[in-house]
Chain A
Amino acid sequence: DVQLVQTGAEVRKPGESLKISCKTSGYRFSTNWVAWVRQMPGKGLEWMGMIFPGDSDTSYSPAFQGQVTISADTSTNTAYIQWTRLKASDTAIYYCARLSESPKSDFENWGQGTLVTVSS
């Protein structure tokens, strides 16, 4: 079974940094794109960006370019997303998701989500 298991809930202050993880299993990590999706409180889904772990190729939504960094570790089959300076507006649930192989059009499997709360 494909599984994506994410970091538990995090609370930070504005200006702090954060890195959350998405540990995968049940498929070949290096050959599937892994994406991150944001869901702000009571709102819909937004694609943030993604990584191809095999060569660390990344693609970001213009809305999130420069705001977050996505990375992956093929030795542990884990994807990451990080912030260097959090803002209150980063408060949201963040999901990782495995994209379909070909075409890479659908978010086939999802992590359980990580709630990030940024508050002073």
Chain B
Amino acid sequence: EVVLTQSPGTLSLSPGERAALACRASQSVDSLYLAWYQQKPGQAPRLLISGASGRATGIPDRFSDSGSGTDFTLTISRLEPEDFAVYYCQHYGSSFWTFGQGTKVEIK
């Protein structure tokens, strides 16, 4: 089972700033099977970026992902007020799905 560790736990930034959220896997994984989700308070998570198919429908291009092997990053180029939320990375492999523990992006 792959363990995903996200950092930092909380990121305090101002609107307009750039956010870089890290996701480290306990072993090398295929980026094709690494995805990112956003969850706002009281709402279900929603798929942001799929390793296999890129940004999900309706996701603005200020969201991007990068990385390979064990280290992956979700970047939000310029934070909008609606981007303050919790973000999770997720991996699929060997018929098992795992999530990172999440990074909260809060308004500074």
Give the CA-CA distance A93 to B32 in the complex, in Å: 28
A10 within 8 A of B: no
A105, B88: Cβ atoms closer than 8 Å: no
Give the CA-CA distance A61 to B102 in the complex, in Å: 20
Give the CA-CA distance A61 to B95 in the complex, in Å: 9
Partner of A46, one of B35, B44, B53, B99: B99
Q: Convert B66-101 into 0s and 1s, putting 1 for each residue whose CB lies closer than 8 angstroms to a CB of A.
A: 000000000000000000000010101001111111
Q: Inter-chain contact count A-B, CB under 8 Å?
A: 62
Q: Convert A80-104 into 0s and 1s, putting 1 for each residue whose CB lies closer than 8 angstroms to a CB of B.
A: 0000000000000001000010011
Q: Convert A39-66 into 0s and 1s, putting 1 for each residue whose CB lies closer than 8 angstroms to a CB of B.
A: 0000011110000000000010100000
B101, A44: Cβ atoms closer than 8 Å: yes
- Shortest Cβ distance from residue B29 to the other chain A in the assembled complex, whole angstroms: 11
Q: Tell me which residues across on chain A come within 8 A of B45, comparing CB atoms.
A: 37, 45, 95, 107, 110
Give the CA-CA distance A112 to B37 in the complex, in Å: 15
B50 within 8 A of A: yes
Give the CA-CA distance A44 to B90 in the complex, in Å: 11
- Shortest Cβ distance from residue B53 to the other chain A in the assembled complex, whole angstroms: 7
A110, B46: Cβ atoms closer than 8 Å: yes
A61, B96: Cβ atoms closer than 8 Å: yes
B90, A107: Cβ atoms closer than 8 Å: yes
Q: Tell me which residues across on chain B come within 8 A of A106, comparing CB atoms.
A: 35, 47, 50-53, 90, 92
B44, A113: Cβ atoms closer than 8 Å: yes
Interface residues of B (CB under 8 A from A): 32-33, 35, 37, 44-47, 50-53, 56, 88, 90, 92, 95-102
19 contacts between A and B (CB under 8 A): A37-B45, A44-B101, A44-B102, A45-B45, A46-B99, A47-B98, A59-B95, A95-B45, A100-B53, A103-B32, A104-B92, A105-B50, A106-B50, A107-B35, A107-B37, A107-B47, A107-B97, A108-B47, A113-B44
Query: Closest 9 A-B residue pairs measured CB to CB?
Result: A105-B92, A47-B97, A110-B44, A45-B99, A106-B50, A106-B35, A105-B33, A44-B101, A44-B102
Interface residues of A (CB under 8 A from B): 35, 37, 44-47, 59, 61, 95, 100, 103-113
